[in-house]
Amino acid sequence: MSFTKMYYYLFYKYYRLFEHFKTTRWLTDVKAVIVVISLEIWILFSLNNYWDVLLGRHGELSFFSFKVLVPFLLLMLLKWFAFWKDDRWKEYVNEFDQWSQKTNNQGS
């Protein structure tokens, strides 16, 4: 499975999770994207922390620093192209919905 397909599959799993519960059915695509962005931001912060530990620095991050704003803006730009620009995510949701239950549970 390609990286792009895995990325959309992660989105799909959260999308279906929010669709499953009656109380969370509104704006499910937006909520799934927010979860994916949150995971990516946590990964970036973790990598930054490991980098600081390996170099023996005590780095401080502020929201308006170059080190925070540039990755955040890049992530938002990526999400716009991947999800909202042409609604490509709908094609992937339809594709993953057609997978068998066993294949979908395995994620491959």
**pLDDT digit string (tens) for 60-107?**
777 677 777 888 888 888 888 888 788 888 888 999 999 988 888 877
**pLDDT digit string (tens) for 9-55?**
999 999 999 998 888 778 888 899 889 988 988 898 888 888 888 88
CA distances from 20 to 13, 71, 80 (A): 10, 32, 25
Query: pTM of the entire structure?
Result: 0.78
The interaxial angle of helices 3-20 and 88-97, nearest 10 deg, is 80
DSSP one-letter string for 7-18: HHHHHHHHHHHH
Name the strand (E) or helix (H) holding 51. Answer: helix 28-55
